[in-house]
Amino acid sequence: MRDFFSIGEVAKYTGLSRQALIFYDKIGLFKPACVNPQNGYRLYSAKQLDLLDTILIMRRIGLPLEDIKEYLEERSAKNSRSFLERQMAVIDEQIRFLTLMRSRIAHKCLTLDAVASHMDEAAEGEVIRTQTPEQYIFTEPVPEPCTLTEISLATKKCISQAFERELPVFFETGVIVPRDRLMAGEYVRASHAFLPVEYVEEEPRILRMPAGECVVCYYMGEYLKIGAAYEKIFSWCRENGLRIVSDSYEFASTTI
């Protein structure tokens, strides 16, 4: 059995790059057994390969290099268990997060399927009378003068603050346009940006949208021209003897 291996051979056997092995050497994580004084080549002993296997396994389960170095410097059965328990907690949190993200993506796919289905059944701009389920939204006020710039900034702030609070959001955004503004023809003066979320207690900025009857119109195009869709809604409601009693909730169904 050979006693020493070059850095290129170790890289080939382990799948690590030469740069990674050099970096491990520089940070004191995995140093070569010796360095050839004539050419500066790093040489690794056969006994070291088992240690490198340990490092690779620990990297595979997600331990940072700093933790691996600390573990190797104070290696014992007790420390091994402690490190693994800590990493299990990290993995459990990653599983929780990824499960949440998967559910949000699945919800988004269903939303897009529903939009596509409605668009197949009804022409763009057609008004539909339907029932809406109970929903919750996390809101952010839109400051005056409520132009597209303020709406965009409020949406970004809403997203960032929802992430900071680790709220269970869905991958969708929207705005609320107050009824009195709609009646005055101010179709793009939204009062709030929002994100649909699951209900969270003690979060005052989460509002409940009750289940009930609503009218829907799917609009695609320049947002500043969305007034044409609202005018169709108003006309349809008058023709069908309906009165608008709530604010408008606009969902940007293609946002992700």
Task: Report all structural domains of the chain as residue ranges with CATH numbers, in order of start.
Answer: 4-74 (1.10.1660.10), 104-252 (3.20.80.10)
Contact between 35 and 41 under an 8 Å Cβ cutoff? The reply is yes
Contact between 134 and 211 under an 8 Å Cβ cutoff? The reply is yes
Residue 169 tokens read as 């959001």
- Provide the mean pLDDT of the chain: 88
Number of residues that this document lists for the chain:
256
Q: pLDDT by residue (tens digit) across 61-105? A: 888 899 889 888 887 777 778 888 888 898 898 888 888 778 778
Q: pLDDT by residue (tens digit) across 141-189? A: 999 999 999 999 999 999 999 989 888 888 889 999 999 999 999 999 9
